[in-house]
Amino acid sequence: MKSIFLAFAAAALAFGSPFGLAADPDPETLLQELEALKQSNDRQRQELREMEAKLERLESQLRAMGLGPKQVGTLAQAAPAPEPPAGSAAQPAREGAPAAGEETVVKEPARTRSVEGLLQQREAVFDQRFTLEPSLTYSRFDRRLINLTGFLALDAIFLGQIDVEQTKSNLFNLDLTGRWGITPRLQLDVNVPYLYRESQFISGGVGGASPVVSDQWVSNGDIGDVSMGAFYQLRREDGTWPDLIANVRVKAPTGKEPYGIKVINRDPNNNNLGTPTDLATGSGLWTASVGLSFLKTVDPAIFFGNIGYIHNFKDNFDDISTDPNVIAPGEIELGNAFLWGIGVGFAVNERTSLSFAFNQFIQGSAKQTFAVGSSAGQRQEIIGSEANAATFNVGVTYSLTDNMTLLTNLGVGLTPDSPDFAVRVGLPYTW
């Protein structure tokens, strides 16, 4: 009986048996199974790389929305880990990945250079230690005024004298601005301007003939009004709120004041042509302003805007008369001003951005009070001194290097108080 059992077991080992005892697998079958495992492993690695790339894109989008590294890290911790594909073994931890239970640290993705340039143009970059920006602005003014002395006959025919006056002005403004990032939310700056102005005054009336005109040129170059400002980020941008930045600025009367500049007649043949002896480069008064600006990222656009209020402090001067034969001390009070603006910007590529903006500046009329004379002590409003200047701006920024950016802007005047156009070029360098 024992010999029969041993013979049956030997046959089962040789040919297989219904009790589950299998023969040695075929080598070709082993190779097929190994190839299938390799393909499955490659697919899982590819899926892992795709998930990592998607995670990086999501982190970049969150950073563009204003979420800091801590917020991004919190979201990364709160997100459920992806389950491995069915039937696959758990993948080993990648080199450098945090172990279970360790805090996840996600690096804050850097902004593109084009976005940095756009934010720098809006003075909304706070993480830079020091930036020095030289800039040059050219503004063009052309004003025409027709003086009518006479009366209108039959509601259509003017009888009398027509005097045509025109003023053409070129203004070159060279600014040097230094910005210090004191904290991630606080930035200070100092602006020192130098202005060169030249104006051509044209008037008809040579020899008593209104069609015959003559002109005179007046020019002047000097330092302008130096100012200091502070910007504080009240709130960082998130999914609902934009960046909110408050600013204050103080401007000192370091430029050439416009009061007491005499108006004389340089052309003996034209009594209508009166020209100033000099041109001002400053307001002559201390100025303080407060403002609030916002910036919101809505991929691929960046919306921005600002509002502000400017207060001019009144002051006394030794002479405020334009008559060359009169010296009249008095007090000058410029009108306070309100300004606002809104715009949108786009990152064209890694280095270039484009922006469009509308800005308006509204100032009340000025007042003067003479200290001597028949009108001494009487506060008089200066007719025509109010202003409403609106401009449409197109800006382009180009990142030259990691530290230097080219800022350009073209402003087109929309009201008579605005310059016909203004071109600005800035070159900030960051340390």
Q: What does the alpha-carbon distance between residue 248 and residue 289 come to, in Å, rounded to a whole number? A: 6
Q: What does the alpha-carbon distance between residue 80 and residue 51 come to, in Å, rounded to a whole number? A: 13
Four-CA torsion 78, 84, 85, 89, nearest 10 degrees: -170
Q: Give, in order, the Cα–Cα distances in Å from 21 to each of 10, 12, 15, 17, 28.
A: 11, 7, 9, 6, 20
Q: Looking at the predicted structure, is the pLDDT value of residue 401 above 50?
A: yes
Q: Looking at the predicted structure, is the pLDDT value of residue 270 above 60?
A: yes
Residues 161 and 146: beta-carbon distance below 8 Å: no
pLDDT band at residue 123, thresholds of 50, 70 and 90?
A: low
Q: What pLDDT was estimated at residue 40? A: 85
pLDDT band at residue 101, thresholds of 50, 70 and 90?
A: very low
Residues 389 and 358: beta-carbon distance below 8 Å: no
Q: Looking at the predicted structure, is the pLDDT value of residue 138 above 80?
A: yes
Q: What pLDDT was estimated at residue 63? A: 66
| Mean pLDDT lowest among 88-92, 227-231, 343-347 | 88-92
pLDDT band at residue 289, thresholds of 50, 70 and 90?
A: very high
When the pLDDT of each residue in the chain is averaged and rounded to a whole number, the result is 79
Long-range interactions of 34-39: CB distance < 8 A, separation 24+: none
Q: Report whether the peptide linkage leading into residue 134 is cis, meaning its omega lies within 30 degrees of zero.
A: no
- Characterize the bridge pairing of strands 130-153 and 157-181: antiparallel
| pLDDT tens-digit series, residues 319-335 | 998 888 889 999 999 99
Select the highest-mean-pLDDT range: 10-19, 264-273, 396-405, 412-421: 412-421
pLDDT band at residue 188, thresholds of 50, 70 and 90?
A: very high
The residue that leads in pLDDT, 12 or 374, is 374
The residue assigned the tokens 């904290």 is 183
Q: What pLDDT was estimated at residue 161? A: 47
Q: What pLDDT was estimated at residue 16? A: 47
> Which strands make up the sheet holding 315-317, listed edge to edge?
315-317, 330-333, 367-370, 379-381
Q: Looking at the predicted structure, is the pLDDT value of residue 371 above 90?
A: no
pLDDT band at residue 410, thresholds of 50, 70 and 90?
A: very high
Q: What pLDDT was estimated at residue 128? A: 67
Q: What does the alpha-carbon distance between residue 7 and residue 3 come to, in Å, rounded to a whole number? A: 6
Phi, psi of 386 (to 5 degrees): -70, 160
Instruction: Compute CA 372 distance to the chain's CA centroid, rounded to the nearest angstrom.
Output: 47
Can you tell me the mean pLDDT for 338-356?
91
Write out the DSSP string of 108-132: PPPPPHHHHHHHHHTT---S-SEEE
Q: Looking at the predicted structure, is the pLDDT value of residue 388 above 50?
A: yes
pLDDT band at residue 103, thresholds of 50, 70 and 90?
A: very low
Name residue 326's amino acid.
V
The residue that leads in pLDDT, 271 or 410, is 410
| pLDDT tens-digit series, residues 208-259 | 665 678 888 999 999 999 999 999 999 888 878 888 999 999 999 999 999 8
Q: Looking at the predicted structure, is the pLDDT value of residue 147 above 70?
A: no
The residue that leads in pLDDT, 159 or 139, is 139
Q: What does the alpha-carbon distance between residue 137 and residue 123 come to, in Å, rounded to a whole number? A: 17
The residue that leads in pLDDT, 171 or 153, is 171
Helices and strands per DSSP (H, E), number in the chain: 4, 20
Q: Looking at the predicted structure, is the pLDDT value of residue 86 above 70?
A: no
Q: Looking at the predicted structure, is the pLDDT value of residue 139 above 90?
A: yes
CB neighbours (10 Å) of residue 269? Answer: 12
| pLDDT tens-digit series, residues 125-136 | 676 688 999 999
| Residue 404 DSSP class | B
Q: Looking at the predicted structure, is the pLDDT value of residue 287 above 90?
A: yes
